[in-house]
Structure 1
Amino acid sequence: LGLVRLIRQMAPHQRIHASTQMSISNAEAIRWLDDLGIQRFVLARENSIQEIKAIKANTDKELEVFVHGALCVSYSGQCFTSESIGGRSANRGQCAQSCRFGYEMHVDGERKDLQGKSFLVSPQDLCGINEVPSLIEAGVDCFKVEGRLKTPEYVATAARNFDHAITSAQKNNVLDQPVYMKKQMASAFSRGFYPGWFHGVNHQDLVDGTFSSHRGFEFGTIRNVNGNSLEVEISEEQVRQGLKADFIKPGDGVLWVYRDRHGQSIEKGGFVFAVKSLSPKKFALEFSRDIAMDSIYSGARVYYNHDKDLKRDVALTVEDKERKKRIPVRVTASASLGQPLSVTYADGKYSVTATSESICEPAKNKGLNSLDLRDELFALMGSPFRGEEFEFATAEETPMFLPNRQVKELRQKLVKELTELRIANGPAADIVPETIPWSNGKKISGQKIAGVKLNLLL
C-alpha cells in the first residue's frame, strides 16, 4: 500500500493493477482502497461467479479473473508453508510447491490409513473454459492464465483455446465441443482439470489426493488386456461432452493408473503403436512388445498425456513466418456408406467442392476418421494455402474405408481448382481482424502523459 502511494506521488497518471496477492474478494475491499486510484483488481481465485457478479454490480473498477492454471491450497496465495519448511517465500515468487508433497495424517497420535491418498493438499488445476460466457456476463474485463515456468505448448494451447472461447461467447455462439480443447490443453500440462470455486466450494472434488503432478486428460477405463493391446472404453461423462474414439492416433502417449496387489496406485504408460476402433466409444490401443502387459490393468483409469503433433503445431504457429503468409482455408468433409467422400475448400470468398471416385465401404480394420482426414487434407505445405478449420460430418457408426490415395488426389484437385479460381477472379478481400467489443473501452490511450516513467504490476 505504501508503494502504491509512492507511485501516485511520482507518477499521478500511472496505471496500476492490484494483484491477487492483495486478497481482494469483495466490493468492500475495493471501496476501502478507492483513494489509491487503482484501475484494475485481480480477484481472489476463491470467488464464485455469483460473487464476481455481485462485486461488479458494486464497483466501476476493472475486474480480472484467473481462468486457467495451478490453484493454491492457501487463500489467494497467502501461503507460508514453503517459507516455514525451506525458507522460500511463496509471496516473493519462490514457492517450493509444498502442497504437492505427500503427507501422513495423524489423529490423536494415531496414523490413519489413507488408502493411497497421500497428496492431501494438492488441488487439481483450474480450467474455466466452460465458464467463459458466464464470466463475461458477470462483467469480467480480463481473463488471466497462470503460466509461470510453463512450456511453449502450454502457453500456446491455453491462449489459442481461450481466445476461441471468448470470441464464440461474444458472438453468442455455443462453444463447439470444449472437451477437445480440454484434451489439447491437458496434454500440455494438467494435474486434472476442475472449475475451481466458480460454482462454489467442494474440496472433496477439488483435491483428488492420489497424485500431484502431470497426468494429462482422463478419458476412460481399461476394460480388457489382450496380448500387447489394451481395450479402452471412453467414460460416459466424456461421451456426453462429445468425445469420440477417433481422437487418439499412433505416436500419441497414454498413461494408466492401476492398483497393485498391495492396493497402491501405480502409474504406467507408453506410446501408442496402433489404434483399432471397436465402437464409437471403445477402441484397442496396441503398444510395442517391450511394454509388459498384465491382467491387473483391467479397471485402470486412462489418461491422454502426449500429443505427437503438438510441438510441431506450436512451432508452426510461433516460428513459421512463411505459414503466416499463406491463405487460410476452411476444409469440410462428409461421408456415408455407399456414397463418395465429399470435400470442400473455402478461403472466405471462393469455395470448391469435389467427390472421390469410389464410394465409402465398410472397413475391415481401421476406417476413415476425422484426425487422419484432417492430416491429409491439411497437407498443404507446397501450396499457397494453409488449413485453418476442419469439420468432418458423418452419421455412420460403422467404420468406413476409402483408399488414402483417393483422399490425396481430392486434395490435389481442390488446391489446383481453388488456385485457378483465385487467379481468374483476383484474391479475396483481406479480412480485417474483429475486435472484441468488451475490450474496446479498456484500451490504454497511445497519448503520452507527462510524468509517466514507471509501469508496475503489483
Structure 2
Amino acid sequence: MANGADAVYFGLPRFNARLRAHNFTEAELPEVVAFCHRHGVKAYVAFNTLVFTGEMPDAAEYLRLLSRAGVDALIVQDVGLIRLAREIVPELPIHASTQMTITSPEGVEFAHDLGIERAVLARELSLRELEKFRAAPDSEFRTPNSALPLEVFVHGALCVAYSGQCLTSESLGQRSANRGECAQACRMPYELVVDGAVRDLGDKRYLLSPQDLAAVNEIPALIEAGVISFKIEGRLKSPEYVSAVCQVYRKAIDAALAEREFRPSAADRYQLEMTFSRGLYSGWMHGVNHQELVSARFGKKRGAFAGRIARIGRDFVEFAPQVPLKAGDGVVFDTGGDTNAEQGGRIFQVKGQRLFFQHDHIDFSRLKAGDRVWKTDDPELDKRLRQSFTGRIESRHRERVDLAVSGRTGEPLTLRSGAITVQSTMPLQTARTAPLTLEKLREHLGRLGDSVYELGELHSEIDGEVILPIGELNRLRRELVFQLDAAHAVSRREEATSVESIVARECRAATGPREEATLRVLCRSMEQLDAALENNVAEVYVDFEDIRRGKDAVARVRQAANGTRIFLATPRIQKAGEQGFFKLIENAAPDGVLIRNLGAIAHFAGGPLPLVGDFSLNVANPLTAAHFIGKGLQRVTVSYDLNIEQVLDLLQAAPPAWFELTIHQHMPMFHMEHCVFAGFLSKGKSFLDCGRPCEKHRVHLRDRVGMEHPLRADVGCRNTLFNAVPQTGARFFEQLAAAGLRDYRIELLEEDFEQSRRVIRAYQELLSGEQRGEDLSRTLQAQSQLGVTRGTFENRGA
C-alpha cells in the first residue's frame, strides 16, 4: 500500500495456493480488509485451490466469512466452488485464477458464463495473442473488447508449467500444486538423456527453471491490448521485494496512463534485481524464445551481476565490479556447479578491486578465474526500502468529504456529512480568547492523512464565539471517520441453502450404474493402437504428437471392423487462432472427442460427436462435474489430485455414470510452453528454426535420484514431462466397483506392441474378475518391468 498498490491479494490458512506462506488468519481477516479499505486499497482473497467433496461444507462457511468481512473479490480456480459461491453469496465478486488455465477468448467466455467478473490469464500469452482477446464488434462476444476485464502477471516467478496443469509435486511427492503444496521441482537440476545417452550441456543443469518475469517495459503495450490489471507475484517474498517492485511498476503504469514515455533506469533495474531475481526477462510477452527463457545455470535467487573473477588470493577475490560493492554486501560465486553447495558470504572489506572475506567462511580453493560473481544482498537498499513502509501510509485514492459544523454555547458541536451526524460529548463553551474559527476547524478536522478521506468544503453554522478542547475535536474527527467507514461497509446478501441440498439438486442421477465395467485405452502410437484392437478394446483414445495422424488412426480402427470406437484427444492447451486443431479432429471423423481444454468445449458442444472431459479440467467435486455435464460432456475424468477416499466421496455425491477414472498411467507432470527439445538440442528460438529435434530423438530428463522421465512434444510444440514410473489403482478396484464406477482407463506411453498387449490384457482380467488388484500390480512389475507405484490413489490426509 505504501508503494502504490491499488489492490493486494492474500490467502487464509486453507484453500490457498500459498500454504507454505505465513498467511493471515480467519480472526485477522476483518481488520485486514478494513485496513485496506481505510487506505483506498482493494482486498482480494486467494481461494484458489481445488476443493474436494468432503470439504465443501467448510468451503461454504469460508465463503460466508469472506463475504461478511467485505473482501472485494475472491480469486478462484475450482469451477464447483464458483457454482457454490453463486448459490450462497451471490453478490460476492469472483475473479478467475490463473490456475483455471484460461488461454483463449473461449476460455474467457466460459468464465463469463460462470458469473466471474475478471479473468486472470495464463502467463504464457504473448502481446500478439492478448490482442486477439479484443474481439471485433460483430464477434460472438458481448463487447468490442472482451467478455471480461483482463488481468495479467507482469512481474515475479514464472512457473515453467501452465498453472493448474502441473502435477509434478503430486506425482513425485504427493504434494499437489493444485492444493497449494508446490515443491518447486522445476527449480531442481536435471540431466538431458538423448537416445539413451547423457548429453553434455556444460554448466547447464537447471533445464526447467525459467528466468523471472519482468514486463515493466511492456506496460504500455498491455494497456493497448486491453489489460486493466497488472499483477505482481509475491509468494514467499520479503516486504523489501514488494516495496521495490511496486515502486517501479507504479511509475511505469502512471506514465503509461498519462501517455508519457517511461523506461526503467539503471537504479530501477538494480532495485528489481537485488530484492529477488533469477534473471529478469520479458517471459512470453514477445512470443517464445527457447534460447533465452531458461538460462539453465541456476534455479535460485541471483541478484545483480557483479563481474567475473580475475584473480584469487588467500582471503580475497579480485575483479572489476560492474555494480557498487561495499563492506556488508552479500555475494555468491557462480562456479556452474550444484547451487546448493556454492560459495558466498558477506564482504569484509573492499580495497580497490579486491574483495576480502573472513577466510573460514569461504573455501577459496573451489573458486577459479572466470567464475561469475553475483551481488545477492544490499543492506543499504533494504534499509531504504523499509523506510518506505514504516511510517504513515498515504492513501492513493482519496474520497472528498464535505462537512457542515453547527452549535452554540451550552450545546454539543455537531458535524454533518450527508446522512452521517456526529456530536461532541461535551457542550461548547463561550470563548474568552481564541474561538473556533473556520480556519481552526479546517486545521483539526482536516487531519485525515491516515484514512481514505480528504476534507472538501467546510461550512460553519456556529452561533457566536465558542471553544471546544482540541482533544475533543480530535475525537470527533476519529468518530467521523469511523462512521464514514461504517457507511461504506459492504452488506451482501447470503442464502441459507445447505451444500447438501445444492449438490442433491445439481447431481440427480438419471439412471443407475451399468452392470459391466468398460475399459478404455489411451494410445500414443500405432503399435499401441494395434495392441488395443487385437484385444478388442471397446473404446480407444488416440493422443498422437502429430494431430494430423488422427485420420490414420481412425482408418486403422475402421479397417479392423471389430466394433471398437475411437475418440481423438484435443491438445491440452488451446490459444486464440488454434481452432484449426479442432477442425483436424472433426475432419478425421472419429466416434468422439476427449476434451482437454475450455476452448474445445465451446467448439464441440452441441455438435454430433460424443464428448468426454479429461483430467485437465480438474474435476474434484460434484458441482464441478455437474457443470461440465451440463455443458454437454457425457463423462468427466476424475482429477488426479484425489486419493481413493476422495474418489469414493465423489462417487457417493454424484452419479457414478458421470465419471471415468484413469486406473493406470504415467502421470503427466510438467505441461509447459517451454520446449526442452528446442532449447537444448538446437539453436532455434521457436518451431520456425529449431529443426524439429522432437521428431528425431527420444529424450528423457534424469532427476537427482536417477529416474529418467520421458519428455514429449505435442502439436503446439508444448512439452509434457511424464513420470518414469507408472501408477496403478488396481488394488482399489473392488472398492470403486462397489461404489458404482464402471468406466476405467489405462494410458500407454512408451510401451511397444507386446508390452501394451500385456498391460491391456491384465486390466481386462481385473475388470472381468479373473485377476485381483494386488496380483496385477506384482504381475505388471515382473512381466513388463514398469515399476508400478500407488501414487495418488494412496490414502493420505487432505
- TM-score norm. by structure 1 comes to 0.62
8 Å Cα contact 1:272/1:285 also seen in 2: no
Give the SS at the match of 1:33.
Answer: helix
Q: Which moved more, 1:137-146 or 1:27-36?
A: 27-36
2:109 to 31, 38, 56: 31
Q: Deviations over 1:135-192 (max 9, x none)?
A: 2222211111111222222222222222222222223333354432232222222222
Looking at structure 2, the residues matched to 315 and 93 of structure 1 have their Cα atoms a distance apart, in angstroms, of: 29
8 Å Cα contact 1:249/1:274 also seen in 2: yes
1:269 to 321, 341, 344: 344
Q: Deviations over 1:45-82 (max 9, x none)?
A: 00011211221344141111011111111123410111
Residues 1:453 and 1:103: Cα distance change in structure 2 (over 3 Å): farther
User: Which residue number corresponds to residue 91 of structure 2?
Assistant: 13
Q: Which moved more, 1:132-141 or 1:176-185?
A: 176-185
* Count of aligned residue pairs for this structure pair: 322
Shift of 1:101: 1.6
Looking at structure 1, the residues matched to 336 and 340 of structure 2 have their Cα atoms a distance apart, in angstroms, of: 5
1:150 aligns with 2:237: yes
8 Å Cα contact 1:13/1:449 also seen in 2: no
User: Which residue number corresponds to residue 378 of structure 1?
Assistant: none
User: Which residue number corresponds to residue 356 of structure 2?
Assistant: 287
Code of the aligned partner of 1:269: G
Q: Deviations over 1:239-285 (max 9, x none)?
A: xxxxxx5x44432222232369xx999843333355577xxxxxx24
Code of the aligned partner of 2:165: Q
Looking at structure 2, the residues matched to 107 and 218 of structure 1 have their Cα atoms a distance apart, in angstroms, of: 33
Code of the aligned partner of 1:49: L
8 Å Cα contact 1:258/1:266 also seen in 2: no
The 5 Å alignment of 1:84-233 reads 84-223=171-310, 228-232=316-320
1:78 aligns with 2:159: no
Looking at structure 1, the residues matched to 164 and 124 of structure 2 have their Cα atoms a distance apart, in angstroms, of: 10
User: Which residue number corresponds to residue 319 of structure 1?
Assistant: 390
Runs of 4+ in 1 over 4 A off after TM superposition: 223-227, 263-266, 273-277, 291-296, 429-433, 445-450
Shift of 1:92: 1.0
Looking at structure 1, the residues matched to 390 and 489 of structure 2 have their Cα atoms a distance apart, in angstroms, of: 32
Give the SS at the match of 1:169.
Answer: helix
Residues 1:92 and 1:295: Cα distance change in structure 2 (over 3 Å): closer
Q: Deviations over 1:15-49 (max 9, x none)?
A: 11000111111112212333222110000000011
1:56 aligns with 2:109: no
Looking at structure 1, the residues matched to 111 and 334 of structure 2 have their Cα atoms a distance apart, in angstroms, of: 49
Looking at structure 2, the residues matched to 265 and 67 of structure 1 have their Cα atoms a distance apart, in angstroms, of: 29
2:493 to 444, 451, 456: 451
Give the SS at the match of 1:95.
Answer: coil
User: Which residue number corresponds to residue 441 of structure 1?
Assistant: none
- TM-score norm. by structure 2 comes to 0.37
The structure with the larger Rg is 2
Residues 1:265 and 1:257: Cα distance change in structure 2 (over 3 Å): farther
Residues 1:265 and 1:21: Cα distance change in structure 2 (over 3 Å): closer
When the two chains are superposed, the root-mean-square deviation of aligned CA atoms in Å is: 3.6
Code of the aligned partner of 2:318: L
Code of the aligned partner of 1:123: P
User: Which residue number corresponds to residue 36 of structure 2?
Assistant: none
Residues 1:89 and 1:266: Cα distance change in structure 2 (over 3 Å): closer
Looking at structure 1, the residues matched to 253 and 339 of structure 2 have their Cα atoms a distance apart, in angstroms, of: 42
Residues 1:93 and 1:71: Cα distance change in structure 2 (over 3 Å): same
Looking at structure 2, the residues matched to 276 and 160 of structure 1 have their Cα atoms a distance apart, in angstroms, of: 33
Percent of residue pairs bearing the same amino acid type: 43
User: Which residue number corresponds to residue 415 of structure 1?
Assistant: none
Looking at structure 1, the residues matched to 267 and 90 of structure 2 have their Cα atoms a distance apart, in angstroms, of: 46
Q: Deviations over 1:291-311 (max 9, x none)?
A: 576796432323221111233
Code of the aligned partner of 1:268: Q
Give the SS at the match of 1:7.
Answer: helix
User: Which residue number corresponds to residue 374 of structure 2?
Assistant: 303
Looking at structure 2, the residues matched to 285 and 156 of structure 1 have their Cα atoms a distance apart, in angstroms, of: 32
8 Å Cα contact 2:89/2:494 also seen in 1: yes
User: Which residue number corresponds to residue 678 of structure 2?
Assistant: none
8 Å Cα contact 1:88/1:94 also seen in 2: yes
Give the SS at the match of 1:133.
Answer: helix
8 Å Cα contact 2:187/2:206 also seen in 1: yes
Code of the aligned partner of 2:304: F
Unmatched tracts of structure 1, length 5 or more: 235-244, 278-283, 326-428, 436-444
Residues 1:141 and 1:276: Cα distance change in structure 2 (over 3 Å): farther
Code of the aligned partner of 2:329: D
Residues 1:166 and 1:452: Cα distance change in structure 2 (over 3 Å): farther
Looking at structure 1, the residues matched to 237 and 218 of structure 2 have their Cα atoms a distance apart, in angstroms, of: 23
Unmatched tracts of structure 2, length 5 or more: 1-78, 136-144, 395-445, 453-486, 497-623, 625-798
Residues 1:294 and 1:33: Cα distance change in structure 2 (over 3 Å): closer
